[in-house]
Structures are given as structure tokens and as C-alpha cells.
Amino acid sequence: MLPAWVGFALASFFCYGATNSLLGAIYEWSGRDPHTPLTAPFVLWITMGAAGSGAAAVFKARGRGYKGLPSRRFVWIAAAAGVSLSAAMLTLKLGLSSDPDAKGPIVAISSTNAMIVAVAAFFVLREKLSSWQLLGMLVIICGIAITALGGGTGASTRGLVFGLATMVLFAITNFLLKYAGHHGSDSITTTAILWLSAGVCGLFAVAYCLIRYGRLPGLEEASLVLWAVLAGITLALGMLFLKLAVTKGPGGPATAITGSNAILVALFEFLVFAHVPPPQKLIGMGIAIAGIVILGLGGDRKVLAMAAPAAVASNDPRRDAGSGRRRSA
């Protein structure tokens, strides 16, 4: 039977694939306007903020509030994850726009953030991986790198610096989600705060564009904005599924599965824009799929992590008294 965390990671994989496919399509539909890749994410962030506002309204109407967090500091942890997510998306787009020929190396470097998450989870949370999980994660990372480098290997120093920044920022986002889940933070509450945090970043970004340009460059057509809103919805759902995946399973492998969504992007571009991927990309996609299969078949053969005191406390039924649940999802 497929482990629950693999199922959630695959759900995030599909959501991220939809998001990135839509961003690529928006760029094509804008006539390849160089401003579009930079401004479209701003709409995504605001859309996530709207989702967070909707969640807050539901929480208030049901008298639920932002419950399910072990302490107030986890509010700031979730908010920091939203800021780092927005910053990672921005540095990725800045890197690609500063050196279009560096797309392969930049994406390849940023995709290795799963390894950082796994290492951080091991040293900070004492989370160990089984041999199957480690193998599957490494296979996926290799597949993603090969797929990315199939688009070219040349890169400037500036492009590589942006790629490294993107890798670190995505790793921070994913590890913070893992950290919050490890200590018993409720997934819906944590993700709602992340959505709101990203929405604030979007408001600042859009305000800057409106003050400087009087518009959102590259998104003058209303249809493009609507497509960006849809991409924001899929991104918001992807973050929720990722939070559930890293809470219920190992952080590194779960992040690796979601990061392999380039497979779906390549398939979308082939079906919609007739972009035929080169043989190297096809090989990389096949390797990444093999890694996902390894995790799907062996992902439940896990080594139990040495629980930190706070994690043990989060399983105390008294902490969730009145919530009807013994632990947060």
C-alpha cells in the first residue's frame, strides 16, 4: 500500500507541476515578454494571501481560531516559511532573467534543496532515513539534475549565485514546514499563516510595480492575470499537501518528489506548445520517475526517528484537549 506521505507528496507534485506549467504558458501567451516571469509570481503570492484570508474567515466563523500550534513562535516559523518561499521564487526568476542560457544549471542547483532538508532534519530533528528512502531521494535528485541540464550547461557566475540562493531559500521553506510538523503544528493552521505571509509579500511587490510603472509589466491582459490567479490556487494547495507530506513522512524524500514536477512541465509543453524535449531530458525524467517508484514501494520501510522532547510532548493527548484529536496532522 502506498505510504500516506508519498500520496501527499504526489499531490503536491501535481499541484506544483500545474503551477509551473501555467507560469510557462503565461510567458508564452504574453508574447515572451521578459517582464512576465518576474511579475506573474506577484499575482500568485496575492492569491495565496487571499486563500489565507479565506481560511482566517472560516476559522473565525467556526470559533476555531489559529489552534493547533504548540506555541506562539510557530506562528513566526510559518510566516518565515511564506517569506522564504516568495524570496526563492523571486531569486529563481531573477537568475533566469539575468542569464537565460543558465536555465539548466540554475534549476539543477536549486533542485538539490531536498538534500539540505534531509541533512538538516537529521542533525536538528534526529530524523533518519531507511536505505530505500535515501536511494529513492538520490535517484530523484539525479534525475531532476539531468533533466535540467538537458536544456544547456552554460551559466554565468551571476546565474549560479541566484541558483544557490534559490536552493537555500527553498530548503529553508521546506525545512521550516518539516520542523513545524515535527513539533506537532497543525497543517491547516501552519499553511494558512504561510499563505498570509506570502500574500503580504505580494502586496508589497505589486505596490512597487504600480508606483514605479503604473501597471504590472507583462501582465497587461486580464486573461493573463486570471491564469496567474489559477496558478496561485494550485501553488497554495501544493504547499498544503507538502506540509502534510513532510509532517507524515521524511522531509528530504518528500521534498524530492515534489521537486520532480519538471516532468509534468515538460509533458505540458510538449502537448500544448509542441516543445519536444531533448533525449537527455527524457532520460532524466525516466530516472526521476524511477526514484518516485522506489519511494512508493519502499517509503514505508522507515527508521523511526529519535523523538525530540518537544515532539514527544506534542503527542500528549492533554495538549489537544477539546480538539478531538490526539495529534495534529
In a domain, 316, yes or no: no
Q: Which amino acid is present at 327?
A: R
Tell me what pLDDT residue 154 has.
54
DSSP per-residue codes, 250-270: -HHHHHHHHHTTHHHHHHHHH
Output the average pLDDT for the chain: 86
**For residue range 249-302, what is the model confidence (pLDDT) as tens digits?**
999 999 999 988 888 988 998 999 988 888 888 898 899 999 989 888 765 654
**For residue range 4-17, what is the model confidence (pLDDT) as tens digits?**
999 999 999 999 99
Q: Is the model's pLDDT at 138 over the cut of 70?
A: yes
Contact 319, 185 (CB under 8 A): no
Between CA 239 and CA 192 the distance in angstroms is 10
Between CA 261 and CA 33 the distance in angstroms is 24
What does the buried/exposed string (b/e) look like for 61-96 if buried means 16 or more CB atoms within 10 Å of the residue's CB? eeeeebebbbeeebbebbbbbbbbbbbbbbbbbbbb
**For residue range 76-129, what is the model confidence (pLDDT) as tens digits?**
999 999 999 999 999 988 887 776 666 666 777 777 899 999 999 999 999 999
Total-model pTM: 0.86
In a domain, 328, yes or no: no
Between CA 302 and CA 272 the distance in angstroms is 40
Tell me what pLDDT residue 127 has.
94
In a domain, 292, yes or no: yes
Domains: count for the chain = 1
In a domain, 310, yes or no: no
Share of the chain above pLDDT 90, in %: 63
Tell me what pLDDT residue 155 has.
53
Helices (H), 214-320: 222-248, 251-259, 262-273, 279-298, 309-314
Q: Which domain does 91 fall in, by range?
A: 4-302
